Amino acid sequence: MADLSTPPLARQMSVRAVVEALMRAGSLSRAELARVTGLSKQTASEVVRELEANGWVRERGQTQGFVGRSATTYEIDVSRRYVLGVDLGGTKVHVALADLAGAIVSEEVEATDRRGGRHVVEQIGALSAKAAASAGVDHGRIHCGAMGSPGVFQPGSGRINIAPNIPGLDEIDVAGELRRRLGFEMVVENDVNLAAMGERWRGCCRESGTFAFVALGTGIGMGMMADGRLVRGARGAAGEIAYLPLGGDPFDSRGYRLGTLETAIGGVAILERYRGLGGADAHDVRAIFERWNAGDPAARTTVEEVARLLAQALMAVRAVLDPELIVLGGSIGARPELVDAVRSLLPRFMPEPLRVEPSALGSRAAIVGAVGTALLALYDAMFGVTDLPAEPDDAVTAA
């Protein structure tokens, strides 16, 4: 790769243009690459030869042109490198191994090591090796990864703060420890931010540059995209809507740890609301929704109360971000009963209701976002490519 890592600027731009074109189209002939990129046919051919010699591009087949002429088509060799996506939660660790097209070839899921800290890092390393072995991939071909985690990642120290369900992450350089254990660079990001990236890449926000992803489950968090870029804030805490002063007294110190809004509509709070209304004992929020569907008055009132507070929070987001839409995700947020209840309230706030959609990726949003983020980091490092297509069309036109 030495000849591709430090080329003259013009050559680097040509390589980037060819790689981007192949990523978007799936496969193209040299003539098509010249037409799509605006490069001369000679330059396009030289770049293809260079990429092919280094193993990044391979022949795909033949395309039939005019008067019986045919041309060889080329595609990215998706098995040249692999990336690792990690979704780290308080209860489970989910890892996914993907090729250069973003196709997941292997996945592993395991209960999170309760000891946290370096024990979790070692666990991720073991799961990475297991996923590679399952797919028959040499672990040395994994060249980049991304991990989503609860809490706020601190780039300076590599620590993750405000992740109470996974102890010890605020005591170690998580990014550095992962790099040491895995042998390649790891991007560390808030899990809800990665879920937003997942929806942007292969979910319901492919055509939206400015939107918010709100995840409601045990807690509540938000990832925001503005003009196609993730909004992190000055300290990486943008989107911590758990601390919106809604649903209680924001000066009550009991809300300091989890936030006023989360204390009011997080999973524990929803169960407490239901029991306070005289509802029968429920072990989880899913049971409350099941009883809502069965016509249980206490369940219906509980969902209505949660919907009212959530709608207020979404309108606060709208006032600040002015998003095209807000995506509701998480084990509670994506429930159709809650989505419908929130939608019914929004027209009462302003003439033009806010568009709200349930997550298209569901529980896989964060792992898809992790894979996409890792893939983008790899393409950027190798070729300066800073955007990913949704999925290749694989369409070939005449040469």
Q: Where in the chain is the domain with CATH 3.30.420.40?
A: 82-196+364-383, 204-360
Task: Please tell us whether the domain made up of 2-76 is placed in CATH 3.40.190.10.
Answer: no
Kindly give the pairing relationship between strand 92-98 and strand 104-111.
Answer: antiparallel
Q: What is the assigned CATH class of domain 82-196+364-383?
A: alpha beta
Tens-digit pLDDT profile for residues 263-305: 999 999 999 999 999 998 888 999 999 999 999 999 999 999 9
Q: Distance between CA atoms of 49 and 38, rounded to whole angstroms?
A: 18
| pLDDT classification of 252: cutoffs 50, 70, 90 | confident
Over residues 296-352, the pLDDT tens digits come to: 999 999 999 999 999 999 999 999 999 999 999 999 999 999 999 999 999 998 888
**pLDDT tens digit string along 131-141?**
999 999 999 99
Shortest CA distance to 341 belongs to which of 310, 298, 315? Answer: 310
Positions of E strands within the chain: 28-29, 57-64, 70-76, 82-88, 92-98, 104-111, 142-149, 152-153, 160-161, 185-190, 211-216, 220-226, 229-231, 325-329, 356-358
Strand partners, 87: 94, 148
As annotated, the residues of the chain forming the CATH 1.10.10.10 domain(s) are: 2-76
Query: Residue 50 and residue 74: Cα distance in Å, rounded?
Result: 13
Q: Is the pLDDT of residue 168 over 60?
A: yes
Length of the chain: 399
Q: What distance in Å separates the CA atoms of residue 360 and residue 347, rounded to the nearest whole number?
A: 23
CATH architecture of the region 204-360: 2-Layer Sandwich (3.30)
What distance in Å separates the CA atoms of residue 192 and residue 70, rounded to the nearest whole number? 48
Give pLDDT, residue 66. 54
